[in-house]
Amino acid sequence: MSSKPNFLMIVTDQHCADWLSCAGHSVVKTPNIDRLAARGVRFTQFHTASPVCMPNRASLLTGRYPSVHGLKYNGCALPYDARTFVEQLKDNGYRTAAIGKSHLQPFTGIDMSGRWASLGLPEQDAWKTGFEGMDLECPRHYQSEDLFHFPTPYYGFDHVDMVTGHGDTAGGHYFQWFKQQTSDWERLRDPTYQAVHDYSCPQAKRTLVPEELYTTAYIEQQTVQWLQRQSAEPDPFFLFVSFPDPHHPFNPPGRYWDAYQPEQFAVTCPLSDFSAPPPPLAFAHQRLAKGGTTDTPQEAFAASLRHCQEAMALSAGMLAMIDDAVGRILDTLSEHGLDDNTVVIFTADHGDYMGDGQLLLKGPWMRDSIHHVPFIWADCESGHPTHSTTDVIGSAIDLAPTILARADVNPYYGIQGRNLLDDLKNDQGRAELLIEFNDNVPRLGFNRAARSRTLLTPQWRLTVYAGEGWGELYHHQDDPAHLINRWDDPNYQTTKAALMEALTVEVTLAMDESPRARMRA
């Protein structure tokens, strides 16, 4: 067995930080993820670099902010010349694999070029490099009966078992496998067919896909099989396991549909709690009152209290299935003697409003519910903390330098994150954290494609929305639900000015330092 540790990194999709029983959720039960937390340390203040799927996933792998690594908003792709920590591990003797959702490249196959002209934007980009070869997650590769042989290395991964999309119509290698399991695959995936239910929440669907053929079961199966092959291998491994759930649509399969009931959940921050709803929240509820709908199923929307409760119950059911899968994956590590030398990491790519302000999904309105995510570090080395929590502030950009440090592999120049193991040892991390948000089209009432920058400190959250004429300033202790916006409050202008200056410094320091000078000018 190698003297270097293995790594198993488990990622969920659209999963709020407090939606774990080990994080104190009063309804949701996650015994297997809790079991992981019991053998490690849970970060109570871990946040995204950007609360959007593709940008934050790229930040997880590069250790760099979206404004720097190039995948600034959904629909772009991480450039192939962007270095990832996975590539660095591979170059230093690690076997690398990704099973499940990657989403480093677009996976819909929908051409957006006509949209830009309709918005009065130029067709050509400033960069000449396009999307050539950056469509490996698109549906066209997975229509054949023959398994698509994924070209590797893919951002450092030598083995890729791809799952694209969400819910019961997911694609990629999973789709090819699904068609081989049943001759009834078209009916099972047909959106017009579903089992009888009494839910009316948008995107609630009682899928006909049985549990054993659902994406979570597939990812569990492929992960277990991959791990079973590792016990005899001399070299260490890094395995990235990414579940597309509990991301909408809300369609837990089989018994997981009834795992929770809407009545068990309370909307803890309804619209009525806001004395002055911020513009995006007001817009969403005005649209709901008028009977309007969103442009796409991915856009955040306002919902009734009952619909929020239904979404919560179904999301919890999806998470229950993931937790069962995590249990079997952890058991496999133990059964094959791998747990004594494997660091296990658990996190999510971003959160969900999940009833916050009676909104569902995610969007450009910055809230703790979408940028605050779970993070557990369970180390196999003696001396590391177990069954503990820390309030050290962490970010998605910290994963790369932390994993490389633990593997005793040199980082590359331009990583913007911190080694969280040093922060844990010193019991002191960063004083403030930058969170970016970049949208590609206007939505949720914004005047333009949203651009915001957030400064998070142990006491405050400040968010600047470019060109919108308003911003947000909240004090965590006095106003934990962030209901009282102090942005225009004259009593808080000195605090606001100091935080604006600190935000300016953070944005300035976020400049891309790479490539560094190789010669004198």
Per DSSP, 105 falls in state S
Residue 115 has pLDDT above 80, yes or no: no
Close Cβ partners of 475 (under 8 Å, ≥ 6 residues apart): 459, 460, 486
Mean pLDDT of 423-439: 93
SS (H, E, C) 337-403: CCHHHEEEEEEECCCCCCCHHHEECCCCCCCHHHHECCEEEECCCCCCCCCEEECCCEEHHHHHHHH
Domain boundaries, position 288 = 6-110+134-427
- Start-end of H helices in 196-346: 215-228, 279-289, 305-335
Contact 472, 276 (CB under 8 A): no
Q: Using alpha carbons, select from 329, 346, 407, 337 the residue that is nearest to residue 94.
A: 407
Residue that has been written with the tokens 């309105």 in this structure? 365
* Three-class secondary structure of residue 499 per DSSP: helix
Contact 138, 107 (CB under 8 A): yes
Tokens in use for 141? 């590769």
* Three-class secondary structure of residue 475 per DSSP: strand
Tokens in use for 445? 């009432």
In a domain, 193, yes or no: yes
* 520 φψ region: left (φ > 0), alpha (ψ -120 to 50), beta (else): beta
In a domain, 280, yes or no: yes
pLDDT bucket at 512, cuts 50 / 70 / 90: very high
Residue 51 has pLDDT above 60, yes or no: yes
Span 85-109, pLDDT tens digits:
999 999 999 999 999 999 999 998 7
Please name the amino acid found at residue 34.
D
Beta strands in 186-293, from DSSP E residues, in sequence order: 237-242
Residue 78 has pLDDT above 90, yes or no: yes
Distance of CA 309 to the CA centre of its chain: 22
Residue 1 has pLDDT above 60, yes or no: no
The structural domain count of the chain equals: 1
Tokens in use for 68? 């720097």
In a domain, 470, yes or no: no
Mean pLDDT of 462-484: 97
In a domain, 444, yes or no: no
What does pLDDT average to over the chain? 95
Please name the amino acid found at residue 440.
N
pLDDT bucket at 290, cuts 50 / 70 / 90: very high
Instruction: Please give the Cα distance from 94 to 6 (Å, whole number).
Output: 8
In a domain, 189, yes or no: yes
Contact 326, 248 (CB under 8 A): no
Contact 20, 30 (CB under 8 A): yes
Instruction: Please give the Cα distance from 159 to 272 (Å, whole number).
Output: 50
Tokens in use for 434? 């930058």
Q: Crossing angle of helices 399-406/53-62, nearest 10°?
A: 30
Contact 76, 135 (CB under 8 A): no
Tokens in use for 498? 């100091």
- Start-end of H helices in 290-304: none
Strand duo 41-43 + 388-390: pairing? parallel
Percent of the chain with pLDDT over 90: 87
Instruction: Please give the Cα distance from 345 to 36 (Å, whole number).
Output: 9
Structural element, H or E, at residue 161: strand 159-164
* Three-class secondary structure of residue 313 per DSSP: helix
pLDDT at residue 130 in the model: 66
CATH number at residue 101: 3.40.720.10
Q: Which of 31-40, 155-164, 423-432 has the lowest mean pLDDT?
A: 423-432
Sheet holding 433-438, edge to edge: 433-438, 451-456, 460-465, 471-475
Mean pLDDT of 135-163: 95
Please name the amino acid found at residue 272.
S
* 214 φψ region: left (φ > 0), alpha (ψ -120 to 50), beta (else): beta
At 106, give phi and psi (nearest 5°).
-60, 145
Mean pLDDT of 473-491: 97
Instruction: Please give the Cα distance from 435 to 452 (Å, whole number).
Output: 8
Residue 114 has pLDDT above 60, yes or no: yes
Span 354-374, pLDDT tens digits:
999 999 999 999 999 999 999
Residue 166 has pLDDT above 60, yes or no: yes
Residue 245 has pLDDT above 60, yes or no: yes
* Three-class secondary structure of residue 332 per DSSP: helix
Residue 122 has pLDDT above 70, yes or no: yes
Mean pLDDT of 421-450: 93
Residue 143 has pLDDT above 70, yes or no: yes
Tokens in use for 444? 């949720």
Residue 182 has pLDDT above 90, yes or no: yes
Q: Using alpha carbons, select from 164, 169, 255, 241 the residue that is nearest to residue 212.
A: 255
pLDDT at residue 96 in the model: 98
In a domain, 474, yes or no: no
In a domain, 328, yes or no: yes
In a domain, 519, yes or no: no
Q: Crossing angle of helices 215-228/173-181, nearest 10°?
A: 100
**pTM of the model as a whole:** 0.96
Mean pLDDT of 320-341: 97
